[in-house]
Structure 1
Amino acid sequence: MKKNIAWLVVALITLSACEVKIDGEKIVGSGKSITEQRPVTAFTELENQSFFDIVITKGDKDEVEITGDDNLVSQIETVVEGQRLVIRNKNKSFSFTWKNTPGTVKIKAAHLDSVDNSGSGDIELRGLENDKFSLKSNSSGDIKAIGQVQSLNAIANGSGDLHLDQLSVAQADINMNSAGDVKMGKLSKLLNLKVNGSGDFLADYLQDASVNLMLQGPGSAKLRGQVTELKVDASGSGDLDVEGLKVAQATLQLYGPGDVNLAGAADNLMITINGSGDVDAKDLHAKTVVLKNNGPANVSLNVDQNLNAEISGSGDLDAKLNAANKIEIVMNGPGASSLSGTADNLTAKINGSGDLHARELLLRLANIKVNGPSEAEVNVKQTNGARVVRIDRNGVVN
């Protein structure tokens, strides 16, 4: 009896491993595997609309081979329309449940410029060597690419992931509009990234790359490597994490609740904040920083030369000054400012209710004007040491 039950379980698993409903009719994989060679004319584009996986390699001529259970292989069409090879199900209405791959289409392509995945099957591209290449994901199927491409255009509209970490790219234009994640590897010149969906982006190996980011959705972006120029326009809730900055100019315009973390070095850092997302740049050595904070976001900075800050919102500023030359701060809101380190000259106008805490900042000169209900504390050098001075709207308190 136990042996019969065991065989029944095995049978059920086998059936459930490859089961398709096409136009409402259930089709179970026969268990009889076949391989067919499909005749094709020349093509330069590929679109998958099927539930079969696709493996693409470079070849001297275009060839298509399909392997799977015989009654499932018969449900797959391979046709060339113009210059596009289309792999599709004979019947458009289908659903499926399986634990194992229902089948695989192996393709050799002499000249392939683009891949579009609209089916549930995964696609793997091996040995890419192209000047230009386009990827488009519209479904749950993943796409993996291996090789090198000078210019890549990728659009992610579905829940399928793009695994591009083994693809070397000089220039990439990436648009993410859905839940699918994108992971990139080596990128050496230019990255243009738009994140409108919930999918996350990761670039692990940037090499002297110029980066333009537009973050409008809940998806996050992480950049690792060497970034030589950074421009960010962020209005979504997704976070941004950038390591390895080595830039002459970094410009960030932040409108949403997403947090930003920056590390590396920058000659000039310009930040405009109208949202609630915090900015942590304490691991970024910036020579000159221009900050305008109009929202509740908190900001941490590490400044080597000059700081110009205008604080109009409720967010706080925490800045470490490393023998800085000049600090100019205008405080119009309830946000407080805390300064530490050393600097030559501090000029501050405090019109709001936020306090200025500069007891830990050793200054040569300080020019402080308090017009509101707040107070300021500064630490100024004197002949025999330093003196902490407290100032309110009436002038020096002590």
Structure 2
Amino acid sequence: MNICPAKTHFMRKILLFVLPVVLLAASCRFGGGKKVHGNGNIQTEERQVSSFSQVEVHGAIKVYVSQGELKPAKLEGDENLLQYIEFKQEGNKLEVRTKRGYNLDASHDMKLYLSSPTYEVIDVSGACDIIGQTVISNPSKLEMQVSGAGDIKMEVDAPEVFTDISGSGSVTLKGKSRDYHCGLSGAGNARCYDLLAENVWVDISGAGDADVYASINLEAEVSGAGTVRYKGDAKITKQQISGAGSIKKVN
């Protein structure tokens, strides 16, 4: 029996997109540990933190990051759930996660506000969202990692910017960079038309989509059903496509 290639491509892309989302939803809904329901009494508390340049957040938390003087972290959420959010610091890394053995059912979004003079690495997993409230800059490089269904949205300014997305997460960036490195695996998305980069490297495996801007050089490798769309006058110096992937220039 002959199978239409277009139909096979469509079914594959849908499967690659839906599967990680379904698995994540199941893990959130039926996650192990004692379930604790939020009491609806929204409170804010401060947590003292020492100097950090790396942030790692696990769980369903909206994190608002600002670049400026070091300030105590502010945690906002159901009063009875705040005690289950743990902070851990090792060297220059700040890690925030739900206390092991507990599954929190918040009545409202859990929110975390962070301020630091320097950011080097931002790493999120689960259903965490990172929102930049100021321009996040670094004189060398800035790295961002997303696993699960997390999202990062911010304006950046760094010579080198790295994003690595696995699962169904996304990054939305604007600003400027000399070199932008974008890695996607699964059904993630990079929405970075407004990140004005000179040189861009994109590596997609799965059904992810990357929207990028490159003014000088673009290299892209796509395996699966991924798509690279680009703006700018960059010369494509390398393109390698296997499967139903594509590279497209847009206006």
- In the superposition, the TM-score normalised over structure 2's length comes to 0.80
CA change 1:30–1:227 in 2 (3 A) is: same
Q: What is the number of equivalent residue pairs in this alignment?
A: 221
**Alpha-carbon distance between aligned partners in 1 of 2:235 and 2:227, rounded to the nearest angstrom:** 21
The verdict on how the C-alpha distance between 1:21 and 1:62 changes in structure 2, with shifts beyond 3 A counting, is farther
Specify whether residues 198 and 43 from structure 1 end up closer, same or farther in structure 2 by C-alpha distance, changes over 3 A only: same
Within-5 A mapping of 1:149-164: 149-164=158-173
Alignment partner, residue 9 of structure 1: none
- Partner of 1:42, secondary structure, is coil
C-alpha separation in 2, matches of 1:27 and 1:36: 19
Letter in 2 for 1:111: T
Residue in structure 1 matched with residue 198 of structure 2 by the alignment: 189
Counterpart selection for 1:174 from 170, 182, 189 = 182
The CA distance in 1 between the partners of 2:250 and 2:185, in whole Å, is 24
Corresponding residue for 1:48? 57
1:82-124 Cα distance to aligned partner (Å, 9 max, x none)? 211001000256375x7x7421000001111010001312111
Q: Distance in 1 between matches of 2:111 and 2:169?
A: 18
The residue that corresponds to 2:12 in the other structure is none
Q: Counterpart amino acid of 1:41? A: S
Does the 8 Å contact 1:37/1:64 carry over to 2?
yes
Amino acid at match of 1:212: E
Alpha-carbon contact 1:22-1:91 (below 8 Å) kept: no
Q: CA deviation at 1:198?
A: 1.1
> Amino acid of the residue matched to residue 216 of structure 1?
S
Provide the aligned C-alpha RMSD in A. Answer: 2.2
1:292-328 Cα deviation digits (max 9, x unpaired) = xxxxxxxxxxxxxxxxxxxxxxxxxxxxxxxxxxxxx
Query: Contact 1:21–1:27 at 8 Å: present in 2 too?
Result: no
Match of 2:242 among 228, 235, 238: 235
Deviation at 1:44, TM superposition (A): 1.2
How far 1:236 sits from its partner (Å)? 2.6
User: Quick one: structure 1 residues 87 and 214, their matched pair in 2 at CA, closer, same or farther if it must change by over 3 Å?
Assistant: same
Shift of 1:243: 4.0
- Structure 2's unaligned 5+ residue stretches are 1-27
Question: Aligned partners of 1:63, 1:226: CA distance in 2, in Å?
Answer: 44
Whole-Å separation in 1 of the counterparts to 2:89 and 2:71 = 11
- Offset, 1:199: 1.2
Structure 1's 52 and 107: CA in aligned 2 closer, same or farther, altered over 3 A? same
Higher strand share: 1
2:201 maps to amino acid: N
Between Structure 1 and Structure 2, whose CA radius of gyration is higher?
1
Match of 2:138, SS?
Answer: strand
- Within the candidate set 85, 89, 105, 2:94 is matched to 85
SS of equivalent to 1:152: strand
Distance across 2 between alignment mates of 1:76 and 1:124: 19
Q: Give the 5 Å matches for 1:344-359.
A: none
Asked whether the 8 Å contact 1:43–1:62 carries over to 2, the reply is no
Shift of 1:30: 0.8
The code of the aligned residue for 2:146 comes to: S
Partner SS for 1:41: coil
Matches within 5 A, 1:1-398: 23-91=32-100, 94=103, 101-125=108-132, 126-131=134-139, 132-164=141-173, 166-184=174-192, 185-203=194-212, 205-206=213-214, 208-243=215-250
- Equivalent-residue separation in structure 1 for 2:31 and 2:204 (angstroms): 35
Taking structure 1 as reference, are residues 153 and 72 closer, same or farther at Cα in structure 2, changes over 3 Å only?
Answer: same
Secondary structure of 1:74's match? helix
Shift of the alpha carbon at 1:144?
Answer: 0.9
Aligned residue identity for 1:39: Q
Conserved 8 A contact 1:56-1:106? yes
Instruction: Give the gaps of 5 or more residues in structure 1.
Output: 1-18, 245-398
- More helix as a share of residues: 2
Following TM superposition, the consecutive aligned residue runs of length 4 or more in structure 1 with deviations greater than 4 angstroms are 19-24
